[in-house]
């Protein structure tokens, strides 16, 4: 699939921008702080309904619009897909703040083809994979980074996954609150039974889908990494669920295993005041040539492994969806050496659309298809170069 037209109004540093895009690669060039990453953030927002980097959605509204009687940021796109065209809109309405920029309370509305829709009906209508310079965190960062990697991907592929994820998150918070009340004698331990059932039900969906996805991702990542490292390195990823004693099986077995793990960890959880078992504590194990990448990989190796994980994500999404995700490359090529850059660029032909940002002065002489459209990004405006 591909984005045919993108409209931004009061989104980040864009006041009013219309952009017509083509299939194939588009190169977005500009100096620092001109709006390149903001543009890719807009595309990511349309795919996931979430920002790739904002803490709060109010941040997305252009500062100059905050003094409007009704500050509104809007991102809309016309998408071409195998299943037919579609218009997606994300509208973020903030409370008027005068000139105050910090912490603008905001609410979000979503529309598909002009009709208001719920989040679960919008996420994944457009699928996208964002490669960013922060991706090294996938290798060396906290387990939450790797869970997010899986969650963002699976949410786009399956609305039911996203719903289970949201419900699961709420159940964990409620269970933790109850653990505190039990600690202080305000509640009885058997009140946990209900929450354990809820947690096991939604948790089983997450564990099952993650396990299945990682199996396929592992193969894609190994292959991508071999190509990027000229067959000198072996990347292995595996799923490490926080679920003792589970050795596989279907949903029923998973629910039972989660319930059992919660029951046997109950005293420990009450003591800690937090839920220590379940997919909110999962991780991915990443090995490079047999050793833990987080501990032993060099910066260059981390970068290559992170790139392989993103390429694997894109391939997995393409396989699962029967349509190709839009590939968003934010500033990643400039960090790679010539050989790796060539390896990445040579894979670009596989995708329907690739949006590549790059700061001024970077050179992509090797391998950039001659057909790439080139745009200049300058102070919140975009023009064909
Ligand atoms: P770099 O090459 O350094 O990555 P970039 O072109 O990717 O630069 P962006 O991250 O897109 O830059 O950000 C461009 C500018 O947008 C920043 O200077 C930032 O201050 C500004 N900006 C961010 N949020 C808002 C907002 N809500 N209103 C106005 N400007 C904003
Ligand atoms: Mg940037």
Q: Which atom of ligand 1 is nearest to the CA of 63?
A: 28
74 lines ligand 1 (CB under 6 A): no
Name the nearest CA neighbour of 150 among 291, 275, 288, 317. Answer: 317
Stretch 320-340: mean pLDDT: 90
62 lines ligand 1 (CB under 6 A): yes
Topology, domain 1-127+325-385 = Rossmann fold (3.40.50)
CA of 357 to the centre of ligand 2 (A): 8
| Domain layout of the chain by residue ranges | 1-127+325-385, 133-322
The residue whose CA has the least distance to atom 12 of ligand 1 is 33
10 lines ligand 1 (CB under 6 A): no
Q: Which atom of ligand 1 is nearest to the CA of 377?
A: 6
Long-range contacts made by residues 350-353, C-beta under 8 angstroms, separation at least 24?
350/324, 351/314, 351/324, 351/325, 351/326, 351/327, 352/1, 352/2, 352/23, 352/24, 352/324, 352/326, 353/1, 353/2, 353/3, 353/21, 353/22, 353/23, 353/24, 353/25, 353/26, 353/326, 353/327
38 lines ligand 1 (CB under 6 A): yes
The residue whose CA has the least distance to atom 10 of ligand 1 is 37
Task: Give the Cα separation of 18 and 5 in Å (integer).
Answer: 7
**pLDDT tens digits, residue range 46-103?**
999 999 999 999 999 999 999 899 999 999 999 999 999 999 999 999 988 766 777 8
**pLDDT tens digits, residue range 108-128?**
999 999 999 999 999 999 999
**pLDDT tens digits, residue range 241-290?**
988 777 777 889 999 999 999 999 999 999 999 999 999 999 999 999 99
**pLDDT tens digits, residue range 131-169?**
999 999 999 999 999 999 999 999 999 999 999 999 999
CA of 32 to the centre of ligand 2 (A): 7
Token pair 């653990």 is found at 179
Structurally, at CATH architecture level, domain 133-322 sits in Up-down Bundle (1.20)
C-alpha count within 13 angstroms, C-beta hemisphere, residue 49:
22
CA of 352 to the centre of ligand 2 (A): 23
User: Would 1-127+325-385 and 133-322 be classified into the same CATH topology?
Assistant: no
Q: Please give the model's pTM, rounded to 2 decimal places.
A: 0.95
Contact 109, 88 (CB under 8 A): no
């Amino acid at each position: 699939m591909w984005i045919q037209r993108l409209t931004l109004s009061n989104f980040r540093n864009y006041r009013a921008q219309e952009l017509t895009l083509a299939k194939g690669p588009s190169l977005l060039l500009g100096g620092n702080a001109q709006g390149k990453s903001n543009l890719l953030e807009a595309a990511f927002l349309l795919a996931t309904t979430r920002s790739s980097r904002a803490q709060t959605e109010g941040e997305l509204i252009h500062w100059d619009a905050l003094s409007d009687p009704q500050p509104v940021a809007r991102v809309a796109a016309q998408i071409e897909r195998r299943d037919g065209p579609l218009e997606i809109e994300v509208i973020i309405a903030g409370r008027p703040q005068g000139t105050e920029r910090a912490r603008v309370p905001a609410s979000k509305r979503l529309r598909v083809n002009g009709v208001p829709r719920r989040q679960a009906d919008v996420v994944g209508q457009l699928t996208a994979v964002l490669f960013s310079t922060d991706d090294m965190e996938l290798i060396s960062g906290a387990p939450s980074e790797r869970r997010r990697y899986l969650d963002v991907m699976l949410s786009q592929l399956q609305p039911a996954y996203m719903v289970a994820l949201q419900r699961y998150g709420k159940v964990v918070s409620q269970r933790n609150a109850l653990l505190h009340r039990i600690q202080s004698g305000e509640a009885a331990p058997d009140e946990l039974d209900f929450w354990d059932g809820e947690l096991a039900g939604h948790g089983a969906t997450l564990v099952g889908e993650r396990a299945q996805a990682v199996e396929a991702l592992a193969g894609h990542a190994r292959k991508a990494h071999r190509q990027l490292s000229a067959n000198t390195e072996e990347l292995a990823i595996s799923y490490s669920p926080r679920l003792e004693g589970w050795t596989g099986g279907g949903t029923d077995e998973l629910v039972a295993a989660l319930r059992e793990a919660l029951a046997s960890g109950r005293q420990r959880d009450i003591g800690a005041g937090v839920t220590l078992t379940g997919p909110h504590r999962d991780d991915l194990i990443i090995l490079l040539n047999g050793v833990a990448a987080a501990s032993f990989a060099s910066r260059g190796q981390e970068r290559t492994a992170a790139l392989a994980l993103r390429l694997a994500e894109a391939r997995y999404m393409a396989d699962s969806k029967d349509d190709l995700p839009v590939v968003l490359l934010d500033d990643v090529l400039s960090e790679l050496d010539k050989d790796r850059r060539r390896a990445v660029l040579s894979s670009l032909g596989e995708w329907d659309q690739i949006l590549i940002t790059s700061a001024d002065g970077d050179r992509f002489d090797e391998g950039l298809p001659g057909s790439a459209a080139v745009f200049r990004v300058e102070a919140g405006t975009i023009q064909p170069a």
